Amino acid sequence: MNHDVIITCAVTGAGDTTGRSEHVPVTPEQIANAAIEAANAGAAVAHIHVRDPETGKGSRDVGLFKEAVERVRDSGVDVIINLTAGMGGDWIPSDDDPSMPGPGTDMVGPEERLAHVVECLPDICSLDCGTMIFGNGNDLYLNTPTYLRKMAQITQELGVKPELEVFDLGQIRLARALVEDGLIDAPPMFQLCLGIPWGAGADTETMVAMKQALPADALWAGFGISRMQMPMVAQAMILGGNVRVGLEDNIYLDRGVLATNGQLVERATEIIARLGGRVLTPAEARDKIGLKQK
């Protein structure tokens, strides 16, 4: 059981949710305000994607990241900034020639995937430790071992803490190899991502198996998407981990009731309190993670 819990709020993501909820932030100003709202509600960490303000689709535009991060920092609200580094790995084979990229493909190398991290120097950035299938179409998300080693090396040199996002047991094996190769500074920090098609399921047995596969000194959190978001908050805490909520993973507070990021953080805070725990402040979370104090 973890009684001192770090809450991460993933405030927007890159998925097709903007048309389903007016609360999903799109512009850098909206995304920054969402991170501030989450921090004021009790989140120690804000996990940030950016979106094209015109289309609402996920983006890796360095300028959009810079604006969102600067707005959060200029607000005076203390929150640990965790930027995604997951954009730029999308491969959709062409219907005419599967050996060629089709519409929607966005595939770039390690340096370009981290250009916004180099520019913004967040406290943390995500590192997705493997390749997987998303959804029921032809969408592939590619992360080769060579790319991941290079990205781990770059973040290590920058002094940015990588959050090792893992979507199944095989990805934990790859992440552990990065740790064993000296590319991840101790303690390694893992995020168990559950319920995403077609990765590991959001259930007790799966979270237990993945937790047991982590390095002994790992700091970890876990989340489930959609209706399993709050059950996995309780489950992660009970198993000794930290938690993640937010509109990236779930847009509902209750059945049919659209949530804000702040409301999801408040609900997680209530669950943690009812289980006898407490939510850590950003300063306490920095100490637990091993980040420099602001």
pLDDT the model gives residue 294 = 61
Q: What is the per-residue pLDDT across 41-73, written as a single tens digit (0 to 9) for each?
A: 999 999 999 999 999 999 999 999 999 999 999
Contacts for 198 with CB less than 8 Å, ≥ 6 apart: 132, 133, 134
140 token code pair:
């592939």
Nearest to residue 37, comparing CAs of 290, 256, 245, 236? 245
pLDDT of 32 above 80 = yes
Provide the pLDDT confidence category of residue 277 given band limits of 50, 70 and 90. Answer: very high
Query: If you average pLDDT over every residue of the chain, what do you get?
Result: 96
Q: What is the per-residue pLDDT across 58-116, written as a single tens digit (0 to 9) for each?
A: 999 999 999 999 999 999 999 999 999 999 999 999 999 999 999 999 999 999 999 99
β 89-91/106-107 pair status: antiparallel
Domain 4-289: what homologous superfamily?
Aldolase class I (3.20.20.70)
Nearest to residue 88, comparing CAs of 63, 69, 61, 65? 61
H-type helices in the chain, by residue range? 28-41, 62-74, 110-113, 115-120, 145-158, 169-180, 204-212, 229-238, 261-274, 282-289
Provide the pLDDT confidence category of residue 8 given band limits of 50, 70 and 90. Answer: very high
Segments making up each domain of the chain, as ranges: 4-289
CA 171-194-158 angle, 5° bins: 55
Q: What percent of the chain has pLDDT over 90?
A: 97
pLDDT of 293 above 80 = no
The backbone torsions φ and ψ at residue 195, rounded to the nearest 5 degrees and listed phi first, read 95, -5
Q: How many residues does the chain have?
A: 294
pLDDT the model gives residue 185 = 96
